[in-house]
Chain A
Amino acid sequence: MANNAKLKKQDSDEIVISMNGVNKWFGNFHVLRDINLNVHKGERIIICGPSGSGKSTVIRCLNALEHHQGGDINILGVTLDNNVHNVEMVRRDVGMVFQQFNLFPHLSILENCILAPTWVKKMPRAEAVDLAMSLLERVKIPEQAHKYPGQLSGGQQQRVAIARALCMQPEIMLFDEPTSALDPEMIKEVLDVMVGLAETGMTMICVTHEMGFARKVADRVIFMDEGQIIEQNEPEAFFSKPKSDRTKLFLSQVLSH
């Protein structure tokens, strides 16, 4: 517990992500409604909520995989708009891990990892390889470096995906339900890597249903429903004394089994 307490101390007032009055529609469907969110450097945020609540859309807006239609999003001082240059600047510094891993199947694990550093950051290949190997070591699969994604288990693939994102040395990491596509026995190995990452002070926003993980690493838990932020609080308070009825209902459903 002492370890956790240390973990949950964010020590910066610098705001790295700010969303002000963000709205978004899919066709006529109002998927994000007036989202306001500030994230400090080093802060670890868990977003949860029922499916279709817009939680994935929120974090996909943060690296412009989805474009917001109202309000402002500012990331590391760059305003996300239609300017392609701004979008690319933001994407360099924001890593993302997907539910379906999305490794590049035609490239080896190592090539997956060094691709973006060498092509986007123009890092020399040798340097990129060293970096990739050290990160593969950190996710505990350096011995798989020369295999192809199809030869790895789901848990291993997701750990590679994390390493691949880290190879860009991002300031912020986004996780979109990183364990939802995994077999139960592989969830832990991925969560362990993410806990390790949280311990390094990385700014993380994670959409997940893993409430144990949320308790362990989160500085703040955000509950979303119907495209809105319904409730947010520190994990202890969030889980023990939820205030909104919708939060209570949701927690009773996910925690009861």
Chain B
Amino acid sequence: MKTDHSTAYVRQEDAPLLPPPRNETGIIGWFNQNILNLINDFSGIGAAIRSVLMAVGTLAILYYSAHILWALIDFALIEAVWSDPDELKRVVCTTEIAGGIQHNGWHGACWPLVTAKMKFLIYGAYPAEELWRVNITGLVLITGLVCLMFDRMPYRMHIGISMLTIFPVFAYIMLVGLGDWIGLPYVDTRDWGGVLVTLVVALTGIIASLPLGVVLALGRQSKMPAIRYLCTGFIEFWRGIPLITVLFMASVALPLFLPTGVTIDNLLRALIGVTLFASAYMAEVIRGGLQAIDKGQYEAADALGLGYWKSMRLIILPQALTYVIPGIVNTFIGLFKDTTLVAIIGLFDLLGAAQAAINDAGWSSPVQAITLYLLVATFYFICCFVMSRYSMRLERKLDRSNR
């Protein structure tokens, strides 16, 4: 039956509901749409050139990606030296021509070096008989974080609150110590190092900069001029100077302003510097979220009689923070990597510890630096990637408006 929609027409029966064409779904559909359709169009000279370029480009990218991946696997796994049973140190990772035992032209990772330096890379010079304190702290931290990742974890709320309140105190007592009388002798932060310092600086910065950033962002939007100018000035000041300068000033200039005899721990100075620096960035990210909130939300909260603090806490901030999760995590990741800068004020974070290990003549070899840098890069990548993934999951979970 011919249907002509230009004149009066009444449908007699519904058109059938059909599944989509097969070549547009699944893996085949993906391949068709993303690869095949782009390279099999030879309808004209322009289209043909484009198709060929597309095909060549695709192959080239595949080839070089595979090449780089293979080089990495070859270096890190296949050619790598895994053990040093005879304690030959540098010799085990050096070619014959340079006085080692590897065949000439050998190029692989020197993992025994990492094994030998492992303790230093993780704990720095933390006293060997007190390492259990770091281990327990780390174990509690990891357990807590894993528990928080599961949505259905019983007492999740309590765990979260304890991680933010009790755990820092616990970690401080465990890591710094209370004194010999209780079996926790003081450990000078100058002996801290490696992953320990990296995590202490990064986690303190992350946990402290978020609430501080919220306060600064709210302050910058305050109706009271004094608070607004104070917060704006604070934010602009810390954003306006490089982190290296902050750390240098904290390390070199700050003691000049303190009365004689008063000293502030070097690590503590770095912590404060990093936190204030990150909180300025955080404040601007959060301000972006606050500005994205519709004016109607503020008005609805006002009209219901929620005061300023309640409406911020219950209505505005939950939405604003959800909007800017990508920005917040971006700042966290930046902060995490910026912790490597504390090395310049004499703290041995992971990178600093690796740098020290690279300068160990006992392990001197052409692959010494590459091996350690590869390790450090992998560590940072995994940490940052986990944060990134977790933030994406969090975004999906909290995005209720579009569900």
Would you give the shortest CB distance from A58 to chain B, in whole angstroms?
Answer: 15
| Set of chain A residues within 8 Å of B297, measured between Cβ atoms | 102, 104
Known A148-B400, A149-B401; contact A65-B306, beta-carbon cutoff 8 A: no
B245 within 8 A of A: no
| Set of chain A residues within 8 Å of B294, measured between Cβ atoms | 100, 102
| Set of chain B residues within 8 Å of A103, measured between Cβ atoms | 300
Residue of A nearest to B305 (CB): A91
A104-120 contact mask (Cβ, 8 Å, vs B): 1 or 0: 11100000000110011
Query: Cβ of B400 and Cβ of A105 under 8 Å apart?
Result: yes
A151 within 8 A of B: yes
Would you give the shortest CB distance from A237 to chain B, in whole angstroms?
Answer: 33
B303 within 8 A of A: yes
| Set of chain A residues within 8 Å of B403, measured between Cβ atoms | 148, 150-151
Query: Cβ of B296 and Cβ of A100 under 8 Å apart?
Result: yes
Interface size band for A: 20 to 34
Known A148-B403, A151-B403; contact A104-B302, beta-carbon cutoff 8 A: no
Query: Cβ of A95 and Cβ of B398 under 8 Å apart?
Result: no
Query: Cβ of A98 and Cβ of B296 under 8 Å apart?
Result: yes
Would you give the shortest CB distance from B243 to chain A, in whole angstroms?
Answer: 34
Query: Cβ of A65 and Cβ of B315 under 8 Å apart?
Result: no
B304 within 8 A of A: yes
Interchain CB contact (< 8 A) of A116 among B299, B306, B322, B400? B306
Alpha-carbon gap, A102 to B302, bound state (A): 11
Would you give the shortest CB distance from A31 to chain B, in whole angstroms?
Answer: 17
Known A104-B315, A106-B319, A151-B403; contact A116-B304, beta-carbon cutoff 8 A: yes
B402 within 8 A of A: yes
Within 8 A of A (CB), among B43-68: none
Alpha-carbon gap, A88 to B302, bound state (A): 9
| Set of chain B residues within 8 Å of A64, measured between Cβ atoms | 302
Alpha-carbon gap, A98 to B299, bound state (A): 9
A96 within 8 A of B: yes
Alpha-carbon gap, A185 to B332, bound state (A): 48
Query: Cβ of A105 and Cβ of B401 under 8 Å apart?
Result: yes
Query: Cβ of B303 and Cβ of A92 under 8 Å apart?
Result: no
B396 within 8 A of A: no
Alpha-carbon gap, A116 to B306, bound state (A): 7
Within 8 A of B (CB), among A56-106: 63-65, 84, 88, 91-92, 94-96, 98, 100-106
Interchain CB contact (< 8 A) of B401 among A150, A164, A165? A150
Residue of A nearest to B300 (CB): A102
Query: Cβ of A91 and Cβ of B310 under 8 Å apart?
Result: no
Known A98-B300, A102-B300; contact A148-B305, beta-carbon cutoff 8 A: no
B127 within 8 A of A: no
Interface centre among B294, B300, B403 (most CB of A within 10 A): B300
Query: Cβ of A91 and Cβ of B322 under 8 Å apart?
Result: no
Would you give the shortest CB distance from A125 to chain B, in whole angstroms?
Answer: 14
Alpha-carbon gap, A120 to B302, bound state (A): 11
Interchain CB contact (< 8 A) of A120 among B296, B304, B322, B398? B304
Interface centre among B299, B302, B304, B310 (most CB of A within 10 A): B304
Alpha-carbon gap, A115 to B303, bound state (A): 13
Alpha-carbon gap, A191 to B12, bound state (A): 36
Known A98-B296, A105-B319, A150-B400; contact A120-B305, beta-carbon cutoff 8 A: yes
Alpha-carbon gap, A92 to B400, bound state (A): 28
B185 within 8 A of A: no
Residue of B nearest to A150 (CB): B401
| Set of chain B residues within 8 Å of A100, measured between Cβ atoms | 294, 296
Would you give the shortest CB distance from A113 to chain B, in whole angstroms?
Answer: 10
A251 within 8 A of B: no
Residue of A nearest to B301 (CB): A104
Alpha-carbon gap, A120 to B402, bound state (A): 29
Query: Cβ of A92 and Cβ of B299 under 8 Å apart?
Result: no
Interchain CB contact (< 8 A) of B304 among A148, A151, A164? A164
| Set of chain B residues within 8 Å of A164, measured between Cβ atoms | 304
A168 within 8 A of B: yes
B377 within 8 A of A: no
- A interface list, Cβ under 8 A from B: 63-65, 84, 88, 91-92, 94-96, 98, 100-106, 115-116, 119-120, 148-151, 164-165, 168
A-B contact pairs, 21 of them (CB 8 A): A63-B302, A65-B302, A65-B303, A91-B302, A91-B303, A94-B303, A98-B303, A101-B296, A102-B294, A102-B297, A102-B300, A105-B400, A106-B318, A106-B319, A115-B314, A116-B304, A116-B306, A119-B306, A150-B403, A165-B303, A168-B305
* 14 additional A-B residue pairs with CB within 8 Å, beyond A91-B304, A104-B319: A63-B303, A64-B302, A88-B305, A91-B305, A95-B303, A96-B303, A98-B299, A104-B300, A106-B319, A120-B306, A148-B401, A149-B401, A150-B403, A165-B303
Nearest 10 Cβ contacts at the A-B interface: A102-B300, A102-B296, A116-B304, A91-B305, A105-B401, A96-B303, A150-B401, A120-B305, A92-B305, A148-B400
